[in-house]
């Protein structure tokens, strides 16, 4: 299976914080492991599962719209039209952060922990903590 044949899910699970250290948990469902303190947290969210099952996905090869039909991400799907297999990836939530110096809005993936960011517009370095 080629890496290019994958589609990002548009539905992200709820953003949850670790009950022990309060850092952001990975955006997923099931048995999650906090990347900061190693706590194991079980997350179930029937609403997300239902949305995942009913999500419409465009085939990356022939653009036919398919119903995902599975309540987990990532998931391997097969197109009913061109029969290729492709991966439906987890949604990576993005946030907008304003640069504290020039207030330019920066869009980035949410990842747990501290990050150092250099503003591409004014070169100011600043730190954020999710
Ligand atoms: Zn933790
Ligand atoms: Zn197809
Ligand atoms: Zn800036």
Q: Are residues 78 and 105 in the same domain?
A: no
Do both 83 and 98 map to the same domain?
A: no
Q: Which ligand is nearest to the CA of 35?
A: 1
Dist. CA 73–CA 49, nearest whole Å:
9
On whether both 36 and 79 belong to a single domain, the answer is yes
Q: How many domains, in total, are found in the chain?
A: 2
> What separation in Å is there between the alpha carbon of 63 and the centre of ligand 2?
6
The answer to whether residue 1 is domain-embedded is no
Mean pLDDT of 48-67: 96
Q: What is the mean pLDDT of residues 13-28?
A: 88
113, part of any domain: yes
* Continuous segment of H or E residues that includes residue 129: strand 125-129
CA of 28 to the centre of ligand 1 (A): 15
Measured between alpha carbons, how far is 130 from 125 in angstroms, rounded to an integer?
17
User: Is a pLDDT exceeding 70 seen at residue 3?
Assistant: no
Average pLDDT of the residues in 101-113: 86
Please indicate, yes or no, if residue 23 is contained in any of the structural domains.
yes
Cα separation, 60 vs 37, in Å, equals: 37
- The Å distance, Cα 85 to ligand 2 centre, comes to 8
Q: Is residue 51 part of a domain?
A: yes
Residues 34 and 75 in one domain: yes
Which one of the ligands is nearest to 120 CA?
3
Same domain, 54 and 116: no
Confidence of residue 2 (pLDDT cuts 50, 70, 90): very low
Question: What's the domain range around 123?
Answer: 94-129
Q: 17 and 68 share a domain? A: yes
Q: Number of H helices and number of E strands within the chain?
A: 1, 11
Q: Based on the fold, state whether residues 63 and 105 are members of the same structural domain.
A: no
């Amino acid at each position: 299976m080629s890496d290019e044949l994958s589609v990002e899910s548009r539905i992200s699970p709820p953003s949850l914080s670790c009950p022990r250290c309060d850092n952001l948990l990975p955006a997923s469902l099931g048995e999650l492991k906090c990347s900061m303190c190693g706590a194991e947290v079980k997350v179930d969210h029937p609403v997300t599962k239902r949305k995942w099952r009913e999500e419409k996905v465009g085939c990356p090869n022939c653009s036919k719209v398919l119903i995902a039909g599975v309540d987990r991400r990532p998931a391997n799907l097969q197109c009913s039209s061109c029969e290729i297999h492709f991966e439906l990836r987890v949604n990576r939530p993005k946030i907008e952060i304003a640069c504290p110096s020039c207030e330019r809005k920066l869009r980035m993936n949410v990842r747990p922990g501290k990050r150092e960011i250099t503003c591409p517009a004014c070169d100011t370095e600043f730190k954020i903590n999710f």
